Amino acid sequence: MRQSSLIRAAQQAVLAVLAVGFMSGCDKSNPIDPSPGNAPGSTQLLGFQDEALPFFNMRDPGTPDDTIDDRIVSTETFTFGGDTTAAILQAIDRSNANLVRPYRREGTGPYRRVLDYDVPASDRQIGRNTDLFVLRDAEGVVGTSEYFATALLNGIETTASPTTNSIKPWGRTQTSLVLSVGDLQRDSVLSLSFTPDPRAAAYILEIADFDDITIERELGFAAATPMPVALPHQFSQWGFVLPGQESSIRIPFNNVPFIKGQFPITLLCRVIALDATGHVIGRADTDFIKRATGRDDAGNNLYELDPLGGWVITLDPYPRGYGRPQAIGTRAAAGVLTGDQVRNMVGSQITAGQSSTTVAAQRSSIERAALARTGNPLPTATIGFGQTAPKGTFNPARQ
């Protein structure tokens, strides 16, 4: 039923795009003033350069608890937009707009419309007055093209229409952030930490129900991309984390709508680092999910390893019965391998851009810090999901 709902939603989105495109009928060649209007903070443009992300087809000779003897059958890659030089843009809008109109310029030239249609929302989060818009552009020039977008109401652009920051979304995204699962109180307040990135102007933390990711493989692939907010709100919740708050994040579970009030529960946690222009510069390391695919003629078990774009954690404050909490969440989850485990398995078949020699050391250090905090008072800063970044964070003046 959920799959058919997703298919219907996708079909409706495609029809909406086609309908708006036929009605727009604009001429992309007409240059425009780079600042038709500006309402800083209400619409933010974020983005990254598309990447080829690997997943692996593996063969296991019948020892599922021992990965040392597992061998790669094939390595495949996927991308979000299908072109590893493409710009992938996401607009986060908190105005009353229901469409965005993206513009692009080369160097210091004039801005021109990117598409012949205005882009409808990919996810409408009515309860928090937030819409998400996704744009893929394969025609931009790496390192040269610059984008911004105007938010429109019913296709009408006025001088009061909110406009976004400008952004050049180029360059690989580093897997430089290491997550730590901290304390979990009996009142279900989760503590998280991650390593800071000195370049970051803000981070986006996204938490998803892992059970849904295991059902819909496409959701797992979406989470694996460096998309700032990767998943629809039915499956995840997200919020901004500001510099200085990386080690003091507390999330009450009553703010996470997909929590069903039952433990243990397994979650996927993603962190994306953004610079002052909105460019995705860093992200958390990825765990991999192991999906069985059958057996070969020799009787070997076959399976796939798909990246998930974040850490999978299992939480249970009552592992020994009510009233006896366990302080630390566990990294263990059925069918999940850490990025380090997969890198050790596949060795040189991981691309240079995916490898990290410091992830294991960083993880060990931050987990020791989390263990040392067990039983002590939790950090004081609470991250309210749905908050906006500080006014002007992603709105530098365009030239």
Q: Are residues 121 and 223 in the same domain?
A: no
Question: Do 112 and 183 reside in the same domain of the chain?
Answer: no
For residues 105 and 223, membership in a common domain is answered with no
Q: Indicate if 131 and 182 belong to the same structural domain.
A: no
What pLDDT sits at residue 379?
A: 33
Give the C-alpha separation, 377 to 391, whole Å: 32
- Residue 352 belongs to some domain of the structure: yes
- pTM for the model: 0.77
Residues 339 and 225 placed together within one structural domain of the fold? yes
Neighbours of 16 (CB within 10 A): 15
- Tell whether 197 and 90 lie within a shared domain: no
Residue 251 forms part of a structural domain = yes
* Residue 336: inside a domain: yes
Query: Residue 121 belongs to what domain range?
Result: 2-49+85-152
- pLDDT value of residue 42: 81
Q: What's 125's domain CATH number?
A: 2.60.40
In 3D space, the residue among 368, 134, 395 whose CA is nearest the CA of residue 278 turns out to be 395
Residue 242 within a domain? yes
Tokens 């810090």, located at residue = 369
Greatest extent of the chain over all pairs of C-alpha atoms, in Å: 68
* Residues 325, 183 share a domain: yes
Distance CA 248, CA 375 (A): 15
**In this predicted model, what pLDDT tens digit does every residue of 19-44 receive, in sequence order?**
333 233 344 555 555 454 445 558 89
pLDDT, position 73: 86
What is the full DSSP assignment across 255-317?
Answer: G-TT--S-SSEEEEEEEEEE-TTSBEEEEE---EEEEEEEE-TTS-EEEEEEE-SSEEEEE-S
HEC assignment per residue over 68-132: CCCEEEEEEEECCCCCCCCEEEEEEECCCCCEEEEEEEECCCCEEECCCCCEECCEEEHHHCEEE
* Closest alpha carbon to 143 in 91, 85, 103: 85
- Indicate which CATH number applies to the domain containing 311: 2.60.40.3760
Residue 367 covered by a domain:
yes
Instruction: Convert the pLDDT of each residue in 207-250 to its tens digit.
Output: 988 888 888 888 989 999 999 999 988 888 898 999 998 887 88
Residue 280 in domain = yes
Q: Count the Cβ atoms, other than its own, within 10 Å of residue 291.
A: 15
Residues of the chain with pLDDT under 50: 1-27, 34, 36-38, 257, 323-328, 348-399
Same domain, 178 and 123: no
Asked whether residue 328 is domain-assigned, the answer is: yes
